[in-house]
Structure 1
Amino acid sequence: MAKIITILTILLLNLTHSLSFSPENPTNRRILVLLDDFAIKSSHSLFFDSLRSRGYQLEFKLADDSQLALQRYGQFLYDGLIIFAPYIDRFGGSINQASVLEFVDSGRDLIVAVDVNSSDLIREIATECGVEFEDDPAAMAIDHTSYALSEFEGDHTLIASDDFIGSDVILGTKKIEAPVLFQGIGHSVNPSNSLVLQVLSASPSAYSANPMSKLSSAPTLTGPRISLVSVVQARNNARVLISGSLKLFSDRFLRSGVQKAGSSTRYDKSGNEQFVTELSKWIFHERGHLKAVNVRHHKAGQTDEPALYRITDDLEYSVEIYEWSGVSWEPYVANDVQVQFYMMSPYVLKTLSTDEKGLYYTSFKVPDAYGVFQFKIEYQRLGYTSLSLAKQIPVRHFRHNEFERFLTAAYPYYGSCFSMMVGFFAFALVHLYSK
């Protein structure tokens, strides 16, 4: 009986998994939300309601719940993970730092909210994703010129930031007019790491320090180097959001009006709701997720894909690229998709033309070199999942019976040979029969 129950459980898990995250439906649906306290469920309800309204199934659990698990029988139980538990020292159940990182390595997405005096566990998870924090856990982002006024007047740790990343695919096409309220810790990213992006940065006058103690030396983290919110897109296209503030997602900050110090413009509502909503759409693959299908190549004038090509053949190459809109696949339109005809190095590099309906195509002549080539597309663009396509094809030289019988360029040499023979024959006749 126990074996039957186990088998049924495995089948149910496989069925649930097949109906959720898949290449044909890349938007995450099952999300585990880990909390320090269930009070966060109500204090951050607007953010959670936004996710539910878009079809997400949220499961709330305390971070120290002894029944916690991210996978069972080799199958992941969730498609996304939200950790709103900055002070937890140790997760319950089978979840730990390694299992969270394995979750991301599997291609699934993660949101982590770090905060002042966060535990080493949460800071280490964020650090493993590519950001760096100051050694002082009480350090906060402070700004004496870009702080928020009104009901929060005088608190220079409450920053009103409008230094957003310039990417429509990450933050949406609609501009965020109002500044975003932020109160928490800043972090830095390695500029040489192209996988980590600063989405919300501090102003040039900001610095990171402990607000409860006097500065004894110059701050090590200052200005726009301070990232308030960062995102990571891993090489496996998993996406991670790292926020230095849990309050950033709170109902209080989402509903609050805001006026930036030094500005006469007051907004009735901060930009937090639009910011976290649009950012969560990108994190959970409602935008910027690409797929390539129907990769084809053939000789010019033909339709069937050959087993190999001959040098100097004319060929045509095409591929279809689509972007997930959160509901359906829409044609992706760009002018920077390139294909390489590659053997050790690219012999041919062509920018693909598009019909703006998803089809990309080009044509070129096979280079005068034989061996095993590849059609390669390595497409990486800010905010979009990367495309890596490769298809091998052999290229042969001319067979002995495929060369031209007489070459036009060689006619002078042919003439010299025949004239030499005629001259020799004439010389022999004259020499033999002359007296």
Structure 2
Amino acid sequence: MANLSGHILTLLLFPILIAAFSPENPTDRRILVLLDDLSLKSSHSIFFNSLQSRGFLLDFKLADDPSLSLQRYGQYLYDALVLFAPSTERFGGSLDLAAILDFADSGHDVIVAADENASDLIRNIAAECGVDFDEDSSAVVIDHISYAVSETEGDHTLIASDDFIKSDVILGSTPIEAPILFKGIGHSLNPANTLVLKVLSGSSSSYSANPKLKLSSPPALTGSAISLVSIVQARNNARILISGSLDLFSDKLFKSSVQKAGSPTRYGKSGNEQFVTELSKWVFHERGHLKAVNVRHNKVGESEEPAMYRINDELEYFVEIYEWSGTSWEPYVASDVQLQFYMMSPYVLKTMLTDQKGFYSVSMKVPDVYGVFQFKIEYQRLGYTSLSLSKQIPVRPFRHNEYERFITTAFPYYGASFSTMAGFFIFSIVYLYNK
């Protein structure tokens, strides 16, 4: 009876769970947080509290919990996944590498934080996303020039980095003034993966090595090729954040003052909290999520959408594009949205005009080629979800009764025909009556 009651309760809750994530509200709401140790709830409480204050529902579990599952009865129970379990060799329950990749392939978002104890499982998850951590498991990022000044000189593994991506949609419009404190492992980006981007990079003087050993050979990762924090936006618009430092999200580094070596300025608080908060807004689709609605087209002067066009027709195409602000849909304003009239290749490519309120329009003339065309918008911009719109439309030639009676360009042919007939008539008269 208890099991039956549990199943009934689950079924009753399912409409609520499913409704939490929808095209009308694309922000993730239900987040599964997997931890190595439950003490991370308190040591990283500022980050978790900021998520909860923005309306997220966090479900904290140990990474080896035997009841772990991302879906039930074919439905996902969560919208996003946060992996703060870098040393976990194997997840509990039905969760494994394939399950996490399927989760992302289904359009869900993931945050992965590693450190110098990163397991092969965490490294494999990152590798599937186009991120390769240093093969030396004992290596961390070291920088003897751009390190954070502290009372103890240390081994310069606490880095003060301000080399982050310049993108308002990813990191917000408010500039991050203070450097970011980073302590962890570095990674490189797979050049074959065009979807992964550096968000926080190492300086030209950084390198990856074991700080307890002398260098016997050049490090595998050096300079600005080292990525400290990277992001991935998949083709299905799923977003993934991969950090080489779990401490990056910690209360300790959030509250720490920071002074970069060689700089006279000391900041009372590092830029970690602003950096992580703004980045999490992007990852969880609170910013940079686009949608297109009310796509339509018609002949100039008409309002009905035709089943086909004729060559040389004048037509109009309209679309409305909005951006999710975290709470509501706001008009998206840009000057680089383009429409293609496409058959095997673009016959017409025009930039659309906007009224600065999310409404885009363009007028064009159907090319003098008939066949099956497509209206296409392929809009891909840094930090924004991609828009891919296409609508098929046939284009026919003129019917036999739609041509003009006399075509100006055909006058030479008309003249040739009549002159041939006149010549034949004159030749016949001459031939018949010539003695």
Map 1:263-282 onto structure 2 (within 5 A): 263-282=263-282
Is the 8 Å Cα contact of residues 147 and 155 (structure 1) preserved in structure 2? no
Task: Name the SS for the 2:121 alignment partner.
Answer: helix
Q: Which amino acid in the other structure matches residue 41 of structure 1? A: K
Q: CA deviation at 1:268?
A: 0.3
Name the CA distance, whole Å, in 2 between partners of 1:183 and 1:159: 6
In structure 2, do the counterparts of structure 1 residues 422 and 89 end up closer, same or farther at CA, with 3 Å as the change threshold? closer
Aligned partner letter, 1:275: F
Equivalent residue number for residue 68 of structure 2: 68
- Equivalent in the alignment of 2:214: 214
Alignment match, 1:254: 254
Q: Could you list the per-position Cα deviations for residues 255-282 of structure 1 after superposition, in whole angstroms to 9, with x for gaps in the alignment?
A: 0000000110000000000000000000
Question: How far apart are 1:397 and its partner, in Å?
Answer: 1.2
What secondary structure, in the 3-state scheme, does the structure 1 residue paired with 2:82 have? strand
Q: Tell me the equivalent position of 1:337.
A: 337
Partner of 1:93: 93
- Supply the distance in 2 between the matched residues of 1:416 and 1:109 (Cα, whole angstroms): 72
Contact 1:13/1:77, CA 8 A, preserved across alignment:
no
Which residue pairs with 2:52 in the alignment?
Answer: 52
Q: Supply the distance in 1 between the matched residues of 2:66 and 2:143 (Cα, whole angstroms).
A: 41
Structure 2: how far apart are the matches of 1:217 and 1:71?
Answer: 47
Q: SS of the counterpart of 1:273?
A: helix
2:195 alignment counterpart: 195
SS in structure 1 of the partner of residue 252 of structure 2: helix
Q: How far apart are 1:99 and its partner, in Å?
A: 0.9
Q: CA deviation at 1:94?
A: 1.3
- Report deviation, 1:419: 5.2
Aligned-partner Cα distance in 2 for 1:152–1:340 = 61
The C-alpha deviation readout for 1:354-408, integer Å capped at 9, x for no partner, is: 1111111111111111111111111111000011111111111111111111112
Equivalent residue, structure 2, for 1:357: 357
2 CA distance for matches of 1:40 and 1:350? 53
8 A contact 1:107–1:238 mirrored in 2: yes
Aligned residues: 435
How far apart in 1 are the matches of 2:219 and 2:423? 96
TM-score, length of structure 2 as denominator length: 0.95
Q: Distance in 1 between matches of 2:409 and 2:82?
A: 72
Residue 214 of structure 1: how far off its partner (Å): 1.1
1:373·1:394 contact (CA, 8 Å) conserved in 2? yes
1:71-113: CA deviation from partner (whole Å, max 9, x where unpaired): 1111111111111111111111111111111111110100010
Map of 1:131 onto structure 2: 131
Q: Does 1:324 align with 2:331?
A: no
Q: Distance in 1 between matches of 2:336 and 2:164?
A: 24
Pairwise CA distance, 1:11 = 3.5
Structure 1 letter corresponding to 2:74: G
The answer (yes or no) to whether the contact 2:370–2:396 under 8 Å persists in 1 is yes
Q: 2:156 corresponds to which letter in structure 1?
A: H
State how far apart, in whole Å, the 1-side matches of 2:102 and 2:9 are. 23
Give the SS at the match of 1:164. coil
Is the contact between residue 340 and residue 347 of structure 1 (CA under 8 Å) also seen in structure 2?
yes
Structure 1, residues 34-58: CA drift from partner, whole Å, max 9, x if none?
Answer: 1111110000000011101111111
Change (3 A) 1:10 1:372: farther
Partner of 2:292: 292
The answer to whether structure 1 residue 391 and structure 2 residue 391 are counterparts is: yes
Q: Secondary structure at the match of 1:104?
A: helix
Over 3 Å counting, the alpha-carbon distance change for 1:121 and 1:328 in structure 2 is same
> 5+ residue gaps in structure 1?
none
**Kept in 1: contact 2:324–2:330 (CA 8 A):** yes
Q: How does 1:15-30 map to 2 (within 5 A)?
A: 15-30=15-30
Kindly state the Cα deviation for residue 417 of structure 1 after the two structures are TM-superposed. Answer: 3.9
Which residue identity is paired with 1:100?
I
In structure 2, the partner of 1:180 is: 180
Q: CA 1:428–1:89 in 2, change beyond 3 Å: closer, same or farther?
A: closer
> Which residue type is aligned with residue 255 of structure 2?
R
CA contact (8 A) 2:181 2:271 kept: yes
User: Any idea what the Cα deviations from partners look like across 1:189-239, whole Å, max 9, x if unmatched?
Assistant: 024422100000000000001111111101111001100000010111000
8 Å Cα contact 2:296/2:319 also seen in 1: yes
The structural deviation recorded for 1:416 is: 4.7
Tell me the CA shift for residue 18 of structure 1: 3.2
The verdict on how the C-alpha distance between 1:371 and 1:419 changes in structure 2, with shifts beyond 3 A counting, is closer
Q: Map Cα deviations across residues 308-364 of structure 1 (whole Å, 9 max, x no partner).
A: 111111111111111000000011111111111111111111111111111111111
Indicate how the Cα distance of structure 1 residues 139 and 384 shifts in structure 2: closer, same or farther if over 3 A, else same: same
Q: What's the TM-score, normalizing by structure 1?
A: 0.95
Of the structure 1 ranges 418-427 and 70-79, higher mean CA displacement relative to structure 2 is found in 418-427
- Tell me the residue number matched to 1:8: 8
CA contact (8 A) 1:152 1:158 kept: no
Q: CA RMSD in A?
A: 2.0
- Are 1:144 and 2:144 matched, yes or no? yes
Report the alpha carbon displacement of residue 410 of structure 1 after superposing the two structures with TM. Answer: 2.5
In 2, Cα distance between equivalents of 1:432 and 1:71: 99
Aligned counterpart, 2:245? 245
Matched-pair contact (CA < 8 Å) for 2:71–2:77: yes
Give the letter for the 1:169 counterpart.
V
1:154 corresponds to which residue?
A: 154
Paired residue type of 2:380: Q
1:304 is aligned to 2:301: no
Distance 1:293-1:431 versus aligned 2 partners, 3 A rule: same
